[in-house]
């Protein structure tokens, strides 16, 4: 499954177009490699998402094409979720 679709299905990012933009901005990495929106995600991969004030790291547990909203968190294991310190 493509990384942009996985981020949307897993509800880590709200919309697929936003996921694509984040990938193009080089803020997504799979197994410590910066990826494009078309990069393939497999079970066991580690994904790191870097937002303006937050870093999220997850391990992929499943890659279904669709899932109900209340089951979205079963697609990944949260490894790290930290807020970046604000610079003054």
Residue 28 CA: distances (Å) to CA of 61, 71, 84, 88? 18, 23, 16, 26
**Model confidence at 87: pLDDT above 60:** no
- Tell me: the pLDDT tens digits for 30-77? 999 999 999 999 999 999 999 888 999 999 999 999 899 899 999 999
3-18: average pLDDT:
92
CATH number belonging to domain 3-83: 3.10.290.10
Query: What predicted TM-score, i.e. pTM, was given to this entire model?
Result: 0.87
State the Cα torsion 17-55-31-44 to the nearest 10°.
-80
- Per-domain residue ranges for the chain? 3-83
Could you give the 3-state DSSP secondary structure of residue 18?
Answer: helix
pLDDT at 88 over 80: no
């Amino acid at each position: 499954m493509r990384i942009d679709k996985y981020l949307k299905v897993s509800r880590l990012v709200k919309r697929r177009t936003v996921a694509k933009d984040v990938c193009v901005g080089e803020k997504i990495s799979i197994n410590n490699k910066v990826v494009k929106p078309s990069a393939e995600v497999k079970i066991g991969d580690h994904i790191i998402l870097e937002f303006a004030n937050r870093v999220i790291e997850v391990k992929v547990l499943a890659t279904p094409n669709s899932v109900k909203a209340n089951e979205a968190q079963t697609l990944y294991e949260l490894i790290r979720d930290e807020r970046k310190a604000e610079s003054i």
